[in-house]
Structure 1
């Protein structure tokens, strides 16, 4: 995709990438649970230490999206198992939506899985993230209901998978 470059964030972009993530979640009403997830979303510097973070940067040099890629058993892994790559915190700035940036970020996750020789990509998504679910299903993800889970009694995460 020529409109954005997908790459690891530079240290000076960590704060902006964190804010893009928070703004995306807020715009869709996904931070109202009172569990403090906004602090986790903002802390790109910490995620870079324990996982792989990618950003989408537009032609103007602005960070307009981000995703965190995790290996099974690592600090940020939630549902992945050996042979699978997991991604989390996929976010596109509200002002940049509808331009294929989410597709490009997920495509980069697929590329990373293939480069690592992994056969499957998995993720968990808040049950009410309907626009994200439409993206995943359009890209070929299938539900993985046996890995649905609740990190808190009032928060339901549903799982998806795709073979790459």
Structure 2
């Protein structure tokens, strides 16, 4: 059996108190949004190392409008996740940045809106709604769900938000562009009635892909 001596306990308390003070100083100037992101990332690390399901399995999914810093988060997380999971290069991140920039500049769009999903206060996903290429079309763009939040219903909630918004604004259909490796996302779309209307091979980000256009006809 090993145990600290009285001197050891005193030294431990000093070290522990010093560490807490260092972390408090480090975190004090972080905005609330960044603190939530940090907590979400730490939670993901714990869940991956534990090898178990997310501890927030019963947590409520909350959708909100973007706040300062969220546009940058959308671009960064798309770039990081799709590079890690699919090997898509910087060209994809550049595309996401252009989409976000165009969205931010297009305040007068009929179908324009964005949602950030949160679970237990941490950013868990996002999606944009923009005007489509054809009159009366709303376009769903940049659906993303954090790995630690998959299986919690985040993706479905975000898709449903876009569809409800488009229907309320009188859209004739919702369209989107995806790629063949994104099987789970495509299943979410298909369960809601989206159907494939076009596809084409491309290698825009250094990987051979099949781009797919899906559409959901709305009853106006």
TM-score, scaled to structure 2: 0.60
Partner of 2:176, secondary structure, is strand
Structure that is richer in strand per residue: 1
**Partner residue of 2:187?**
134
Instruction: Give the aligned CA root-mean-square deviation in angstroms.
Output: 2.5
Equivalent residue in structure 1 for 2:129, among 69, 72, 75: 69
Q: Which 5+ residue runs of structure 2 have no aligned equivalent?
A: 1-58, 107-111
Following superposition, the deviation at residue 67 of structure 1 comes to: 0.9
Partner of 2:151, secondary structure, is coil
Equivalent residue in structure 1 for 2:211, among 154, 157, 163: 157
Rounded Cα–Cα distance in structure 2 between residues aligned with 1:92 and 1:149: 25
Larger Rg: 2
Q: Which moved more, 1:80-89 or 1:5-14?
A: 5-14
TM-score, scaled to structure 1: 0.77
Partner of 2:86, secondary structure, is coil
Following superposition, the deviation at residue 105 of structure 1 comes to: 0.3
The structure showing larger relative contact order (alpha-carbon pairs under 8 Å, at least 6 residues apart) is: 1
Following superposition, the deviation at residue 128 of structure 1 comes to: 2.3
Q: Which 5+ residue runs of structure 1 have no aligned equivalent?
A: 73-79
**Partner residue of 1:10?**
67
Following superposition, the deviation at residue 151 of structure 1 comes to: 6.4
Give the 3 Å change call, closer, same or farther, for CA 20–55 of structure 1 in structure 2: same
Following superposition, the deviation at residue 83 of structure 1 comes to: 1.4
Structure that is richer in helix per residue: 2
Partner of 1:103, secondary structure, is helix
**Partner residue of 1:112?**
165
